[in-house]
Amino acid sequence: MPDIAYINGEFVPLQEACVSLNDRAYYFADAVYEVCTTFGGRLFIFDSHMDRLENSLRGVKIEYRVDRPYLAGLMEEGMRRAGYAESLVYLQISRGSGLRDKRFPAGPERNLVLTVREKRPIPPERFRQGIRLILVPDERWAHCNYKTVMLLPNVLAHQAALDEGKDDALFFHPEGGMIYEATSANIFLVHGGRLATPPEGPKILSGTVRKYLIDLARRNGLEVDEHPINRTDLGNADEAFLTGTTTEVLGIVEADGAQLGDGHPGPITRRLHGIFRESVGTAPVEYGE
Amino acid sequence: MPDIAYINGEFVPLQEACVSLNDRAYYFADAVYEVCTTFGGRLFIFDSHMDRLENSLRGVKIEYRVDRPYLAGLMEEGMRRAGYAESLVYLQISRGSGLRDKRFPAGPERNLVLTVREKRPIPPERFRQGIRLILVPDERWAHCNYKTVMLLPNVLAHQAALDEGKDDALFFHPEGGMIYEATSANIFLVHGGRLATPPEGPKILSGTVRKYLIDLARRNGLEVDEHPINRTDLGNADEAFLTGTTTEVLGIVEADGAQLGDGHPGPITRRLHGIFRESVGTAPVEYGE
């Protein structure tokens, strides 16, 4: 089977999958989600995603008991049916279905939807070249630490970057100049050999790979500060990179209209990406050092 | 036929209606909508809704040509099939369908969905008793003047009000104390015989009934100021009421923990509701003056 969806208790081809028009995700953005990836065909840091899923559910008051063995089994069954070497597994839980009414639905029924698509890794050239980012004022809602489908501002910011011939956008606070994150990835700066990334807070989705990488960097002798960063810090950085489930460790070579470093992914970025690849058991990108 | 939906070019019972899992409304909140009502079986201020729909589409950069005769015809056909004396017609336009990717889809295909439900008017007792509101910090995104499905904060605020035994919530700015609007209605204050309502801006959805009522009030010799209002103004008001498509003119008798006026919908509120009812050709609520 090609791309696949699990919905209403059965697996169907993704292109044919349909959800009720009465699903609150559809008209109220009343849902949370996770995107898991595989390395070597196995789900990567599954528990980290489930921790965050529980946090998101709690944050927006959707009562749903996360049964990890059940969900892992469902994902693996979907992956088996789809048959890809590497998969991207999307899981969404909405507050339920019902005629459009803001009050929480009375029943305990939540809508669980799962999709399995083929993972298309970022091409090595893109890792080697690095990416260019614009800055956009953060116009999102107040609880971006919960992974909800309230993503229209992310869509608009990402498209604005593409329209300017860049790759993605960074959200910043128009008054304080604080930089939060990209439209689906966290940011790290490198300055004087130390890493810095914005601390957890309502404007940062605490990335599973962000945590994973902080830990990996520290175990490899790098110091990582979690503190607020602003536009000036970004401009003064020796290097910068994004982290994310599909992003891995991706160098930033231009941001806010200015070149970063020498215009290529920096040595610490490349080194960390190598360490990351090694730790997940996949072949490193040849950066041609 | 009972409640009805128009989707993918055909009318189906609402309960059976399903949309593609790949609709961007479902996973990105990438859609705008309108809710029209009828009086005497006819669509009320349809053009006002279409003006706003065009503004919302433009605001979030969804390219869709609003063909008013076509949409009016579709709504009327749905109303005819549903067969209700009075209907509530919901119209949603999403940016389209496709595998989950933030970039705008290449094709010109938008998803139009329409539902027709029976309009259940607010009972006269509720108009007579008035409603009680809590205040909640405004945690919505920056563009509430566009009528998008980014409604999770509205859902949470409305439920918070119900959980406190009240009827709805007013969004206010936690720093300035400015009051914006309720979760699906605009607010008016009455002070010394004059009306005041917050001006149009990014935190106010410019209500079709808000505009209609401002015009109606002025033609009936009342002065209406559109200027920012804050918590203090609310506390000092002689009367206050909400306006909205299903709300009409609904007195507020308690807000922010304090009684307003004498705890009953005030005389100007009652008079305006009477004028409103007369202008739309429906029987007035007997307020028992």
Looking at residue A136, what is its pLDDT? 98
Q: What is the pLDDT of residues A186-229, one digit of tens each?
A: 999 999 999 999 999 999 998 999 999 999 999 999 999 999 99
Q: Mean pLDDT, to the nearest integer, of A260-269?
A: 95
The overall average pLDDT reported for chain A is: 96
* Nearest Cβ partner for B139 among A29, A137, A142: A142
Q: Is the CB of A141 less than 8 angstroms away from the CB of B151?
A: no
**Considering only alpha carbons, which residue of chain B is nearest residue A18?**
B20
Neighbours of A259 (CB within 10 A): 11
Report pLDDT for A8.
82
From chain B, the residues in CB contact with A57 under 8 A are: none
pLDDT of residue A107: 80
Can you say whether residue A9 is alpha, beta or left, with left for phi > 0 and alpha for psi between -120 and 50 degrees?
Answer: left
Q: What is the pLDDT of residue B1?
A: 61
Q: Answer whether residue A87 shows pLDDT above 70.
A: yes
d(CA B121, CA B138): 28
pLDDT for position B289: 59
Do the Cβ atoms of A139 and B143 come within 8 Å?
yes
Query: Would the pTM of this model clear 0.90, i.e. be above it?
Result: yes
Distance from CA of B37 to the nearest CA of A (A): 15
Residue A130 is encoded by which pair of tokens? 């690095």
- Name the amino acid, one letter, at A250: L
How large is the ipTM? 0.96
pLDDT in tens, chain B (289 residues): 689 999 988 999 998 999 999 999 999 999 999 999 999 999 999 999 999 999 999 999 999 999 999 999 999 999 999 999 999 999 999 999 999 999 999 887 999 999 999 999 899 999 999 999 999 999 999 999 999 999 999 999 999 999 999 999 999 999 889 999 999 999 999 999 999 999 999 999 989 999 999 999 999 999 999 999 999 999 999 999 999 999 999 999 999 999 999 999 999 999 999 999 999 999 999 997 5
CA distance linking residue A48 with residue A259, whole number of Å: 34
pLDDT at position B59 is 98
Q: Which of B93, B111, B149, B154 to mutate to test the interface with A (most CBs of A within 10 A)?
A: B149
Tell me the nearest-neighbour CA distance from A223 into chain B, angstroms.
Answer: 33
For residue B212, the SS3 value is helix
- As a dihedral over the C-alpha atoms of residue B155, residue B159, residue B162, residue B166, rounded to 10 degrees, the angle is -60
Q: Which residues of B touch A17 (CB under 8 A)?
A: 20-22
H/E segment holding residue A271: helix A267-280
Distance CA A97, CA A94 (A): 8
Q: Which residues contact A285 (CB under 8 A, 6 or more apart)?
A: A124, A127, A128, A273, A274, A277
DSSP state for residue B219 in the 8-state scheme: H
What residues of B are in contact with residue A154 (Cβ under 8 Å)? 28, 102
Beta strands per DSSP E along chain B: 4-7, 10-13, 18-20, 31-39, 42-43, 87-94, 111-118, 131-137, 168-172, 178-182, 186-191, 194-197, 224-226, 229-230, 239-244, 248-255, 258-259
The minimal CB distance from B19 to the residues A21, A100, A155 is found for A21
- Residues B31 and B138: beta-carbon distance below 8 Å: no
Residue of A230, A135, A249, A237 lying closest to A186 (CA atoms): A249
pLDDT digits (tens, 9 = 90+) for A91-139: 999 999 999 999 999 887 999 999 999 999 899 999 999 999 999 999 9
Phi-psi region of B243 (alpha: psi -120 to 50; beta: other; left: phi over 0): beta
Residue spans of alpha helices (H) in chain B: 24-28, 46-59, 68-82, 124-129, 152-163, 208-219, 231-236, 267-280
Chain-chain contact of A150 with B154 (C-beta, under 8 angstroms): no
**Residue matched to tokens 């070149």:** A259
Residues in chain A: 289
| A176: confidence class by pLDDT, cuts 50, 70, 90 | confident
